[in-house]
Homo-oligomer: A and B are copies of this chain.
């Protein structure tokens, strides 16, 4: 299986694996795919450590880094002196306290975030152009093969730095219009992501979006994302004109994934009806497991409604740190609230496998699907 993007990026099989977990990234890259590490969870220093770890394990095979760049952010984020946590309105704090009490979530409040995500201000500012550029600067000191930007168009300085380093820039989009804008902004690869995807998504399905994006931006290569967790789905995406696929959800239930055990169990049990596009975790519509958290924020009578990005992200990450800890202690209310970003393919995920095996199964099923199609076509 060789598409133009395989040649360009030096990858055997055009299967891109987005994960916040370095072990998944290494496993996929070593199995012939292309791992992409989500950098949002790291400070620049932490990211440097993670990438050094990866460099030591992938033997020069290609991998990438993904940052989050919303087109619009709360104004406070741009004021580098402001304490972001102070910008969270009292009724949003009160609502979180109400939820914690209602669902009996124990444990200390503690600071927003833990060592894993840094201080609230660090986390909040990481989703600005300046914050992302800090992460990209670190990434470009490593032999990364791709820099990806989710949400808004990549800022010119990011594109310029990547260009200078000879690293292609990928951009995630949910509409044809955004795809055009991303290409104008300098994106080298477009990831067309359907509404069924986990995380930040638009409203158009992969089946409808991908061919339109391919026609709009060709010859720029397009990867398909959303609804892809098997070789049949990969073959379908390629039939639509994609040069490869970008998968996120399928890795969340792998052995390597750092998904919280309680959430992993929820995912293994979930059907494809158990996700919802909600602004309750980041401030922008993102598909995730439906849980008491999404229900309360989206339609609870006392809900003040989610804030924008990144303030809602701060509120949610802080609460989820407590909820996650309580869920691991088996507290039933916390188990109701716990959730995580995942796409509709969650209904297909019913066993824990090593990431490498997932790659091999997809490669094999892809070949079978193509062969079956060829036979039918005669």
Which A residues lie at the B interface, using CB under 8 A? 1-3, 175-177, 194-196, 202-209, 211-212, 226-228, 230, 232-233, 235-241, 271-273, 343-345, 347-348, 366-367, 369-374, 376-378
Contacts and interface: CB of A to CB of B under 8 A. Distances in A.
Contact of A271 (B176, B366, B372): B176
Contact of A273 (B196, B204, B211, B367): B204
B175 A273 contact: yes
A376 B2 contact: yes
A333 B100 CA distance: 49
A373 B367 CA distance: 10
A176 B347 contact: yes
A238 B194 contact: no
Interface centre among A211, A233, A236, A241 (most CB of B within 10 A): A236
The count of identical subunits is: 2
A239 B230 contact: no
Contact of A344 (B208, B343, B367, B370): B208
Nearest to A202: B273
Contact of A272 (B212, B227, B230, B371): B212
B207 A376 contact: no
A321 B163 CA distance: 58
Contact of A239 (B194, B227, B239): B239
Nearest to A195: B205
A304 B199 CA distance: 34
Nearest to A207: B227
Contacts of A371: 377
Nearest to A206: B207
Contact of A236 (B196, B202, B207, B347): B207
B239 A235 contact: yes
B376 A373 contact: no
A233 to B, nearest CB: 6
A205 B206 contact: yes
Given A374-B370, A374-B374, A232 B211 contact: yes
Nearest first, the 5 A-B pairs at minimum CB distance are A207-B227, A236-B236, A235-B239, A196-B205, A236-B239
B205 A194 contact: yes
Contacts of A206: 205, 207
A273 B203 contact: yes
B208 A227 contact: yes
